[in-house]
């Protein structure tokens, strides 16, 4: 064999080997580049999906806020008018892209759930924090099985309810359908979207190919998503086929709740036509290289330089930010470089498409920012309007933060307290209102304060309404509503002194009249006829009633003015009861089983008055000849005294009001009594630290109970 032949064969072999190695390496390199681009595209797609979910949540929350602001719905919720609520919800389901509207009270007890035709099973959602809005994913039973759904829950604190909206994510959902179609059109291949709850695939557009029985998320993907808190991109097997997939954990996951994540998959067969095309090129190159080594070498040598220049030129433009230019493949004479140029052109097309998508997203973001700015201006105007209202009201308004520092002090508060708002702001409420108590957990608390004045001998009397407030998850502060009641207090003191003076004068006139009638009845001025005695007895009885009425008015005056002064000491209740029994004759008896030792800590005079009022009240509302029983018993640290009659009783609807002033029973003798007896008894008992209650039924009689602290040897 000649040297030329050997060299030619060697060169041909070398060219064939180089062609094989180059083509094989090129196939894998380009495939790797394509795979990398595909993975970047998938990462962009999953971010687009996440952005779409965020956008959907924003629209749901915006729609929820507009729904919650509708006055007809608020009125219907306030009245718990389920028919009207159902009518409004039905209209919303027909007009909006909503699958479920769910309404519960602040204890998560269902009020009304209205669903579309795709679901009719119960819905359970977690309660959001007070005044907050919750959003996320939840599983929901539908007629087609368990499906994931987006939910937004909004707490309406003033109505004490939580309103929720749910949108089911399945093939019928416009978000899933539009996003899947958009991604598929962009890639020219089917793109499948999936949603996972923990490691279970709750829904996927790939179910149309594989069915619902697909593999769950492997442990390595779960670790990457939930422990590593990063996206997972790689090859996975779904059903019997392999796919390029990307997974991302949902940002709305809460601790202690199921973990949700998204997934996007593209079939691995997307590269099959590309591989076949490269294999065909490999065969053609090998044949041409073997048959015409010199010609091919010469052609390659001539074609490499312009092809490389064209590729380097476009790479330089890409580096400078020009993504609109393309390589003219007609000028690239080498096929391999032509493939590279075509791949670069496709890559530039994909970049342009993504830039277009990013531009559209930026436009949406600008529109959202404009809307947010408009809402911010509205909130600012509302705030100024609200502050203007607060500055013009007659009541003082003071806002205190969670540390007790005053952060707002309106003009009325400054006028009432005589404190400059500039001095009050930043100061603590304890210095301005030292006797105020804000330790309770009540929603509102009404207190009366007495504050000394430096420039006046008379103190300032304030009525203060304390109410807690907070903004979403911020620490709780308090709102103080101040009302100057100094003038009212002066009027009450004047009225109490006036009533006391009048009662004292009336009683001073009644005493000699009562004594004179008593001496006449005793026969000290001569014998009396029966008719005259009977009339004098009636006069004496009326004088006693007037005396009792005067005493009642005097006691009421003392109670209302806070001048009910009690002298506490050991009192034998059995002794008081025996005195009452002796006074009112055979109709009043001591009950069997009463406590043998019945010593209580009390003011004897006022307790005798209370016992007398209860016994007189029982006799007045009992039939002639019926018995009234009085007794005592010990319950814990309290001594309970009761007065039981068999009279007309008290209707159930009147029981809550019988201890009010001037309240008379509807079943008794309407012409008798002032309606003050039970009010006085209640005030005296509660002044001793005890309580009073009644058990009664119409036609069966009544039993009044009151408790006093037991005397245990110490005062």
What are the residue boundaries of the structural domains of the chain, listed by start?
58-126+135-168, 393-483, 485-565, 566-715
Range with the lowest mean pLDDT among 323-332, 623-632, 703-712? 323-332
pLDDT tens-digit map of 400-431: 888 888 888 888 888 788 788 888 888 887 78
pLDDT tens-digit map of 37-87: 777 777 888 888 888 889 988 988 898 888 888 899 889 888 889 899 888
**Cβ atoms within 10 A of the Cβ of 148, count?**
22
Q: Check whether 243 has a pLDDT greater than 90.
A: no
pLDDT at 670: 46
Q: Check whether 715 has a pLDDT greater than 60.
A: no
pLDDT at 570: 92
Percent of the chain at pLDDT > 90 equals 7
Pairing mode, if any, of strands 599-602 and 569-572? antiparallel
pLDDT at 671: 45
156 vs 670, more confident? 156
pLDDT tens-digit map of 523-539: 777 777 777 777 777 77
pLDDT at 642: 94
Q: Check whether 541 has a pLDDT greater than 70.
A: no
The whole-angstrom separation of Cα 564 and Cα 683 is 9
Q: Check whether 331 has a pLDDT greater than 80.
A: no
Q: Which fold has domain 393-483?
A: Beta-Lactamase (3.30.450)
H helix or E strand, kind and range, residue 502:
helix 486-521
Contacts of residue 176, defined as CB under 8 A and 6 or more positions apart, other chains included, come to: 169, 170, 193, 203, 205
pLDDT at 241: 78
Q: Check whether 694 has a pLDDT greater than 70.
A: yes
Q: Check whether 7 has a pLDDT greater than 60.
A: no
The runs of H, that is alpha helices, within 590-709 are: 604-620, 677-687
Q: Check whether 497 has a pLDDT greater than 70.
A: no
The whole-angstrom separation of Cα 81 and Cα 48 is 42
Range with the lowest mean pLDDT among 167-181, 224-238, 514-528, 618-632? 514-528
**Cα Dmax for the chain:** 180
pLDDT at 658: 86
Q: Which fold has domain 58-126+135-168?
A: Beta-Lactamase (3.30.450)
- Burial (CB < 10 A; 0-12, 13-18, 19+), residue 289, is buried
Q: Which of 142-156, 358-372, 381-395 has the highest mean pLDDT?
A: 358-372
pLDDT tens-digit map of 158-195: 888 899 898 888 888 888 888 888 888 877 778 888 88
Q: Which CATH number fits domain 566-715: 3.40.50.2300, 3.30.565.10, 3.60.20.10, 3.20.20.70?
A: 3.30.565.10
Mean pLDDT of 199-227: 79
Query: What is the band of 273 on the pLDDT scale with cuts at 50, 70, 90?
Result: low
Mean pLDDT of 347-360: 86
259 vs 338, more confident? 259
H helix or E strand, kind and range, residue 477:
strand 477-484
Q: Check whether 304 has a pLDDT greater than 70.
A: no
Contacts of residue 591, defined as CB under 8 A and 6 or more positions apart, other chains included, come to: 629, 630, 631, 642, 644
H helix or E strand, kind and range, residue 707:
strand 701-709
Q: Check whether 207 has a pLDDT greater than 50.
A: yes
What is this structure's pTM?
0.39
pLDDT at 632: 92
Contacts of residue 411, defined as CB under 8 A and 6 or more positions apart, other chains included, come to: 391, 421
Mean pLDDT of 1-19: 59
The tokens for 711 are: 């005397």
Query: What is the band of 562 on the pLDDT scale with cuts at 50, 70, 90?
Result: low
pLDDT at 257: 82
pLDDT tens-digit map of 52-61: 889 988 988 8
The yes-or-no answer to whether 58-126+135-168 and 393-483 have a common fold is yes
Going through 209-249 in order, the beta strands assigned E by DSSP cover 232-238, 241-249
Length in residues, the chain: 715
pLDDT at 705: 95
**Cβ atoms within 10 A of the Cβ of 522, count?**
9
Mean pLDDT of 142-146: 78
The whole-angstrom separation of Cα 672 and Cα 323 is 103
518 vs 355, more confident? 355
Q: Check whether 282 has a pLDDT greater than 70.
A: no
Q: Check whether 692 has a pLDDT greater than 80.
A: yes
Helix axes 677-687 and 604-620, enclosed angle (nearest 10): 150
The whole-angstrom separation of Cα 327 and Cα 321 is 15
pLDDT at 640: 93
Q: What is the CA radius of gyration of the chain?
A: 46
Query: What is the band of 201 on the pLDDT scale with cuts at 50, 70, 90?
Result: confident
Nearest to 492 by CA among 468, 461, 517, 536: 461
């Amino acid at each position: 064999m000649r040297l030329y032949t050997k060299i030619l064969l060697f060169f041909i072999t070398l060219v064939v080997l180089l062609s094989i190695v180059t083509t094989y390496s090129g196939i894998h390199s380009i495939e790797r580049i394509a795979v990398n681009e595909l993975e970047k595209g998938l990462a962009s797609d999953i971010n687009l999906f996440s952005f779409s979910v965020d956008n959907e949540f924003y629209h749901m929350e915006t729609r929820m806020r507009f729904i919650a602001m509708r006055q007809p719905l608020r009125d219907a919720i306030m009245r718990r008018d389920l028919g009207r609520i159902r009518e409004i919800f039905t209209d919303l389901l027909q007009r909006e892209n909503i699958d479920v509207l769910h309404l519960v009270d602040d204890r998560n007890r269902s009020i009304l759930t209205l669903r579309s035709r795709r679901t009719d099973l119960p819905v359970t959602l977690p309660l959001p924090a007070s005044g907050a809005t919750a959003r996320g994913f939840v599983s929901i039973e539908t007629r087609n099985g368990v499906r994931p759904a987006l939910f937004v829950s909004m707490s309406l604190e003033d109505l004490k309810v939580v309103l929720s909206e749910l949108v089911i994510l399945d093939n019928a959902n416009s978000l899933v359908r539009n996003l899947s179609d958009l991604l598929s059109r962009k890639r020219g291949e089917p793109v499948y979207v999936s949603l996972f709850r923990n490691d279970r695939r709750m829904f996927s557009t790939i179910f149309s190919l594989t069915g619902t029985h697909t593999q769950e998320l492997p442990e390595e993907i779960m670790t990457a998503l939930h422990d590593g808190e990063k996206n997972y991109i790689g090859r996975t097997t779904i059903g019997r086929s392999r796919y390029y997939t990307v997974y991302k954990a949902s940002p709305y996951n809460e601790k202690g709740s199921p973990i949700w994540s998204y997934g996007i998959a593209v079939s691995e067969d997307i590269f099959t036509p590309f591989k076949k095309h490269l294999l065909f090129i490999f065969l053609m190159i090998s044949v041409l290289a073997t048959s015409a080594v010199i010609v091919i070498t010469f052609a390659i040598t001539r074609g490499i330089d312009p092809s490389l220049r064209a590729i380097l030129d476009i790479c330089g433009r890409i580096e400078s930010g020009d993504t609109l230019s393309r390589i003219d493949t007609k000028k690239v004479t080498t096929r391999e470089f032509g493939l590279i140029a075509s791949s670069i052109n496709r890559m530039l097309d994909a970049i342009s498409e993504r830039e277009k998508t990013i531009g559209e997203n930026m436009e949406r973001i600008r529109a959202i920012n404009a809307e947010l700015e408009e809402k911010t201006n509205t909130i600012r105007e509302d705030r100024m309007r609200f502050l203007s209202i607060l500055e013009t009201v007659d009541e003082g308004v003071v806002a205190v933060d969670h540390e007790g520092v005053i952060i707002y002090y309106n003009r009325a508060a400054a006028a009432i307290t005589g404190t400059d708002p500039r001095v009050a702001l930043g100061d603590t409420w304890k210095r301005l209102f030292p006797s105020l108590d804000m330790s309770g957990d009540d929603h509102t608390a009404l207190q009366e304060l007495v504050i000394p004045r430096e420039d006046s001998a008379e103190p300032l009397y304030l009525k203060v309404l304390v109410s807690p407030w907070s903004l979403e998850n911020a620490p709780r502060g308090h709102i103080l509503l101040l009302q100057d009641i100094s003038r009212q207090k002066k009027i009450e003191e004047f009225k109490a002194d006036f009533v006391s003076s009048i009662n004292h004068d009336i009683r001073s006139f009644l005493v000699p009249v009562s004594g004179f009638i008593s001496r006449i009845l005793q026969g000290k001025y001569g014998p009396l006829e029966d008719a005259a005695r009977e009339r004098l007895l009636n006069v004496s009885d009326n004088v006693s009633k007037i005396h009792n009425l005067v005493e009642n008015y005097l006691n009421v005056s003392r109670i209302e003015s806070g001048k009910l002064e009690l002298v506490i000491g050991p009192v034998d209740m059995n002794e008081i009861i025996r005195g009452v029994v002796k006074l009112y004759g055979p109709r009043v008896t001591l009950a069997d089983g009463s406590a043998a030792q019945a010593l209580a800590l009390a003011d004897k005079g006022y307790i005798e008055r209370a016992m007398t009022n209860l016994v007189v009240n029982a006799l007045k509302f009992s039939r002639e000849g019926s018995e009234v029983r009085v007794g005592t018993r010990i319950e814990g640290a309290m001594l309970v005294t009761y007065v039981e009659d068999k009279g007309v009783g008290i209707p159930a609807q009147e029981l809550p009001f019988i201890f009010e002033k001037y309240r008379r029973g509807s079943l008794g003798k309407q012409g008798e009594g002032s309606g003050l007896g039970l009010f006085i008894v209640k005030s005296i008992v509660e002044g001793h630290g005890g309580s009073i209650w009644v058990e009664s039924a119409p036609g069966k009689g009544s039993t009044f109970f009151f408790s006093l602290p037991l005397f245990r040897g110490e005062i």
